[in-house]
Structure formats: structure tokens, C-alpha cells
Structure 1
Amino acid sequence: MKKSLSMIVMLIVLTMVIAACGNSNSANNGTANNGSANNGANNSAANSGAANQNNTEDNNASGTIKVSHQLGETDVPLNPGKVVVFDFGVLDTLDRLGVEAVTAVPQDSLPSYLSKYAGSEYANAGGLKEPDFETIDGVEPDLIIISGRQSDSYEEFTKIAPTIFMGVDTANYMESFTSNVETLAQIFGKETEAAAELEKINTVIENVKAEVAKSDKKGLILLSNEGKISAYGPGSRFGLIHDVLGVPAVDEGLEVSTHGNEVTFEYVAEKNPGYLFVIDRTAAVGGEGNASSTLDNEFVKTTDAFKDGKIAYLDPEYWYLSGGGLVSVEKMVTDIEAALK
């Protein structure tokens, strides 16, 4: 009987030990499973962090750039989807860089080389000096770009959208032009394309400067407008002929003025320029007469420029209507290059 009782006790103890071992293994397995779950959670957190980092980069890529300009400082959205452009030099730069965000332009004054922007897919932003604010507001632009002719309306533009002034500083033409191009390139993500275009223009400029250095002729710049003429010198809106390309000015004392210095044909004869560079405003904007008939007189015929066949009629669309763009500056420089030959 005692032997049987002992056997029963041993069986009970053995059963309890086996049960305890089973619980221990289950607990260990549970710990391992929890560890796997924790690792999964950590991996999910890591993946979530990577996703957040990508979002941050995306947000930075679609953020803003602060642009300092003549009229103030403006936070400009990167890669804006809708842009109103009033400066034709800026317009031809955007066109050359392949930017397709232009939404509205002043269509009535467009140079012919930018005539595609007269299409119905673009809104008419009004006149260069009389913007159509209702139309501009209606297109809901992300950015408005203006220059000198619209500067008085700057505050009105800023009520509609971020607005930047991108007129060229004629006293520092190439520096200002280059800065404008690089700013536009940064806004629209076209830095590589812009650098290549600027390099090409600078190469042409150096070639022209080398040609200028071979001659001792001095030049005079005239704007012809319905039978009247105005003279421009260094630092003026057309002064890159002197300041950048190095053509010596026949008159260093001309006042820097948007409208130039009104002069007579006697003045032209007295100064006797070796080069006469003529911009026909009438041909650009319409009106009576033309520059060649205006300059067809006895005073001009006494000049060395006339005698040597060095009167150059420059393309008024590039020189008068636009200027300051990748297309127009290149054309302006090659105009002078042709005049020197």
C-alpha cells in the first residue's frame, strides 16, 4: 500500500514538472514572437521615417525662393504653374529655356519673334503701360514678372500674386542680365540650360570685343522716331554697345536718359562718328516715316560712317521692344558684329 502511494506521488510530481516545462517553452516562444513583432514595428517606423524624409525633400523642391529686386523682396514659389510676364526679354528667356508656365502676356505689343504668345491659349494681360488687372486676377497666377513700364503699378500687382521686377540695370548690363537669367533658371529648375546659353552669349561677346579692338572708329547711337532723332551714350538703355562691346563713344557727355538726348543733324555732322548705330522706333511701334529716310540728308552724308558704309540699322524688335533676354541679347550682339564687318 505504501509502495502504491509512493508511485502515485511520483506520478503527480512528474506531471507537474512536465507542465511547468511546457509553460516555460510557451513563455519563451511568446517572448520571441513579441520580439519579432517589435522588430516589425521598428521596421515600420524606419520605413515611415524614410517616407517622411522623401516628403520633406518634395516639400523643399516645391517650396519658395526669396528674390531681392529693385522694388522689394518677394517669396517666389519654385516651378510656378501660372506666370504673367510683362517684360519681353524675360519672355524670350523663358521661351529659350523651354518653360511652359506662361499664362498671360501683353499681346498687343508682342515682337514678331514671340508671336506664338498671341495665341488664344494665352490671356491678354493688357498694355505695357495699362495692365488689365481684371484679366490678370482671373487667370489666378502664381507669379507676375514686370519691368520698368509697369513699375508704378507694382503694389497693385502684389495684391494679385507674388510680383518681381526684372528690368535690366543698363549701368551694369551684363551683370544684371546674367543675374536675371540665373534667377529665372533657379525658379524654374533650368540651371544647366541657362548656364549653356550664357556661355554661348559670352563667347560671341568676346569675339565682338576682339573685332572692336582692331579699329579706332568711334560710334554714335541714334533712336529715330517720326522724323526726330535722339542720341544715347554709355550707361544708357542701348549702352551695351559701348559698355560691354567696347565701341568708343563719339560723345562721352551724353546724359543717361530713357528717352535719350534730342539732337540735331548738325550735331551728328559735328561729332562725325565712324559708326552710326540706328534704332527705328517707328518701325517697332508704328507711325509715320522710317529711319532710313530720316537720315537721308546732307548732314549725315558728311560723316565718316556714311562715307565708309558704316551706318547700321539695328533690329528694333530686339533693341527697342525686348532686350535683356537670352534671345534678344544674343541678337543684339550679333547685330553689332555684322555692323563692324
Structure 2
Amino acid sequence: MSTHRNIRNTLFAAIAAVFAATPLPAWAQADGPMSIAHAKGDTDLAARPEKVIVFDLASLDTLSTLGVAVAGVPAGPKPPVLARYAGSDYAKVGSLFEPDYEALNAAEPDLVIVGGRSGSKYAEVAKMAPTIDLTVDPKNYLASMKRNAETLGRIFGKQTEVSERLAKLDASIAELKGKSASAGTGLIVLTTGGKMSAYGPGSRFGMLHDEFGVTPAVADLTPGNHGQSISFEFIQKTDPDWLFVLDRDAAIGREGEAASKLLDNDLVGQTKAWKSGQVVYLDAASWYLVGGGLTTMQMIVDQISEALTKA
């Protein structure tokens, strides 16, 4: 009996030694020190952050989707998907563009997340607390959006949830591409203050073409952050099969002429899109304010897919 016990103990000791000598995978080390790669380099975290300040709304959307608590957010109105963060339960630490450094310092966060509009403040914020920049690359939107979600999943031990959400998103995009392949041409237009600009492949909203497969009505539009200024005559001449519209004023809660009213004129009325009822008023807050969050990206894909299904 003692011989068997000795053999068993020796075997258990050998197994334990193997596990002790084998480094744990990244997911298993999440509670301990980790190095996080992001748009501005690498940031070392001593442990999983408990007090988190988020300036980037896409990251806030992803953390909300994953059930991760945050301590502070930018002040100001929030889109419906993030409406609860407008309340007093969350410290207000500046705006989307400009941190309140006094409030940020007082919060003593374990991690600050910037991105997009706040990305330019990374260097200043990083002097005060561990900081990562999760700005999405507009020229590689979907891949960088996924990478950011996976980064947050790793930091907060939510890898399984992120994988499941991304798998669903991939399936939805594949279905959308199947529909867009035969949908004809599309033009995405942003309206604000009675003016219009258009966006093509490689631009801020170019994922409509680059990731979702909608054939651009114009392939060589100016790819700048503010798009290419256009007129009603431009839309008439371009004559897209589909017109995708972003109402910036509605997104930011500013009073102004609604996009639907602005576009309701004789020139736009001559286009195939208008005549066929193929004008899609996009969820402006998701596109303009939030962007690459897990929930909003799924909403963006679902809306376009549903519109193409009804055609």
C-alpha cells in the first residue's frame, strides 16, 4: 500500500513541477501584471484595474456591453445606448475633447482610456495615470475595432464574451456583404447646419464600402475627416442606387434643419435612390459619436442589413 502511495505522490509532484515550470497563457495571467499594446505604444498594468476612467465612447460602449464598471466619463449628453452614464453615479471628468485634469487627478484611477476625439490628450493624461489609446484606424476600421475589443476583454477577463460577440458580428457582416454585392451603388452623406459632405472608401465613414461591401457611387472622394463638401447637384449627377444619410445635428442634439427635410428637393428627387425609396437615415449617434463599440457596431450592421433586405 505504501509503495502505491509513494508512486502516486511522486507522480503528483512531477505533474505539479511541470505546471510550475510552464508559463500561464495571457488569459490566465489577467489578474497579474500585463503589458497592453495600443495606438500610442505599450502601457504596463500592475493588476486588473478596478477604478477606470473612460473618455472614448466606443470603449465605454464595449465595457458597458461586457458589464465592466467604470468610475468616470465625459460630461454632456449621451446617445441612447449610453444614456445611463449621464447620471450622477459617474464622475464627470471633462469633455470628449478636453479632460478636466483636476477632476481626473482627484479620481485617482487605475486606468484611463482615451481614443478618437480625446486621443490627442494621451501624453498629458499618461503622466497622471496608466493610460491606453484605443483610437480606431479608419483605414482598417473593422480589424482595429476588433483588436480594441479584444484588448479590453483581456484587461478585464472577458475574453469569452468578446469572442462570442465578435463571432456574431462577423456572421452579420458576412450576411450583409451577401446583400450588398447585388444592391448597386451607394453614397454616404453627412448633413449639418444646412450643409452636406460625402465620404468614400478609406474615409472616416468608409467602412460602408471597405468593410460592408457597398459599391461606392464615387470612388475618389476626398478622404479627410470632414469629407468632401457637396451640393444637391452633386447628388443628382452621382445618382446612387442607395443614399445613406448621417444627420450630425441630430447626433449631437443641436437644433437645425433635419436631414430628411434638407434632402427633400427636386434635384435629389431625381436620383434612383430617392425614386426607389432607398434612402437610409442611419443611426447618427452610433456612427458619429460612438463608432466601434461592440453594441453599436452590431446595431450599425443590423440597420444596413435590414434596409437592404427590404429593397
For the aligned pair, the TM-score class normalised by the smaller chain equals 0.7 to 0.9
- Residue 260 of structure 2: aligned partner: 292
What is the percent sequence identity of the aligned residues?
45
1:231-242 maps to which residues of 2 (within 5 A)?
A: 231-242=198-209
Residue 320 (structure 1) shift: 0.7
Distance 1:334 1:136, change over 3 A: same
- What CA distance in whole angstroms lies between the structure 2 residues aligned with 1:130 and 1:246? 35
Q: Paired residues, what number?
A: 287
Deviation digits for residues 59-111 of structure 1, max 9, x if unmatched? Answer: 955323222222222113442001111111111111111112x1100130421
Residue 130, structure 1, aligned to residue 98, structure 2: yes
Tell which deviates more after alignment, 64-73 or 238-247: 64-73
* Equivalence map 1:135-150=2 (5 Å): 135-150=103-118
**Residue 334 (structure 1) shift:** 0.9
Q: 1:324 to 1:61 in 2, by over 3 A?
A: closer
SS at match of 1:108: coil
Quick check: 1:221 aligned with 2:183?
Answer: no
- Secondary structure of 1:67's counterpart equals strand
Change beyond 3 A, Cα 1:208–1:61: closer
Contact persistence 1:79–1:188 (CA under 8 A): yes
Runs (4 or more) in structure 1 with deviation over 6 Å come to none
Q: Any unmatched runs of 5+ in structure 2?
A: 1-12
Q: Secondary structure at the match of 2:216?
A: coil
Please tell me whether the aligned partners of residues 277 and 314 of structure 1 are also in contact (alpha carbons under 8 angstroms). yes
**Pair 1:257 & 2:224 matched:** yes
Letter in 1 for 2:95: G
> What root-mean-square deviation, in Å, do the aligned CA atoms of Structure 1 and Structure 2 show?
1.9
Alpha-carbon distance in structure 2 between the residues aligned to 1:314 and 1:205: 16
In 1, are the aligned partners of 2:30 and 2:157 still within 8 Å (CA)? Answer: no
Q: 1:77 to 1:337 in 2, by over 3 A?
A: farther
Q: Tell me by how many angstroms 1:122 deviates.
A: 0.7
Alignment partner of 1:244 is 2:211: yes
Give the corresponding residue for 1:159: 127
Looking at structure 2, the residues matched to 226 and 83 of structure 1 have their Cα atoms a distance apart, in angstroms, of 36
Q: 1:89 aligns with which of 46, 53, 58?
A: 58
Per the TM alignment, residue 225 of structure 1 is displaced from its structure 2 partner at its CA by 0.3
- Conserved in 1, the CA contact under 8 Å of 2:62 and 2:293? yes
The aligned counterpart of 1:73 is 42
- Aligned residues of 2:30 and 2:156 also touching (Cα < 8 A): no
Asked if 1:120 is matched to 2:88, the reply is yes
Segments of 5+ residues of structure 1 without an aligned counterpart are 1-45
- Determine whether 1:337 maps to 2:305: yes
